[in-house]
């Protein structure tokens, strides 16, 4: 059965939305249900959700609204906040879009495709290692 396991893994990878790494270059605003607003930086994004860099983590499962501008799209959507991951400074907070309209999803997907095909947007593993080393020295 090893062949079917590989086939299943490849199928799952094919369904996974492509991700663009912004490494904090895009600002985002998170509005909690209480009305409190938190500034964040977009670390990674796909048309299904993303990863925010925050100073302090949010509770897993809370509902919030995220707003940011990327490419030609201004996104404002309710999100489901997922379990955070600690980073060198602050945390990385994953989220999934909960009510992103189909028109906005199509625009966002097109903008992300432009980033993925742009040579200037490509981040190489060596660049990521250098960024991580620079961040750990602070």
Q: How confident is the model at residue 6 (pLDDT cuts 50, 70, 90)?
A: low
| 22-26, 42-46, 91-95, range with the lowest pLDDT | 22-26
Q: How far apart are CA 6 and CA 13, in angstroms?
A: 11
Q: Tell me, what CATH number does 74's domain have?
A: 2.40.10.220
pLDDT at 31: 97
Mean pLDDT of the chain: 81
Determine the distance from the C-alpha atom of residue 39 to the mean position of all C-alpha atoms in its chain, rounded to a whole number. 15
Provide the domain count of the chain. 1
The answer to the question of residue 12 being in a domain is no
The answer to the question of residue 10 being in a domain is no
The answer to the question of residue 2 being in a domain is no
Closest C-alpha to 24, from 64, 56, 58, 54:
54
Find out whether 70 and 19 touch, Cβ atoms under 8 Å.
Answer: no
User: pLDDT tens digits for 74-120?
Assistant: 999 999 999 999 988 899 999 999 999 999 999 999 999 998 887 66
The answer to the question of residue 23 being in a domain is yes
Q: Looking up tokens 């100073």, which residue turns up?
A: 55
Strands (E), 33-134: 37-45, 49-54, 63-70, 73-81, 85-86, 91-97
Q: How far apart are CA 21 and CA 25, in angstroms?
A: 9
């Amino acid at each position: 059965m090893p062949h079917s396991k590989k086939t299943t893994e490849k199928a799952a990878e094919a369904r996974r939305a492509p991700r663009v790494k912004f490494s904090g270059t895009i600002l985002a605003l998170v509005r909690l249900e209480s009305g409190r607003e938190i500034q964040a930086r977009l670390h990674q994004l796909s048309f299904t959700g993303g990863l925010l860099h925050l100073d302090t983590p949010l509770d897993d499962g809370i509902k919030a609204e995220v707003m940011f501008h990327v490419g030609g799209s201004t996104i404002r959507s309710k999100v489901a906040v997922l379990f955070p991951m600690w980073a060198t400074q602050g945390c990385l907070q994953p989220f999934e879009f909960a009510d992103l309209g189909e028109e906005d999803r199509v625009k966002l997907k097109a903008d992300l495709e432009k980033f993925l095909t742009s040579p200037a947007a490509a981040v190489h593993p060596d660049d990521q290692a250098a960024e991580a080393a620079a961040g750990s020295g602070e």
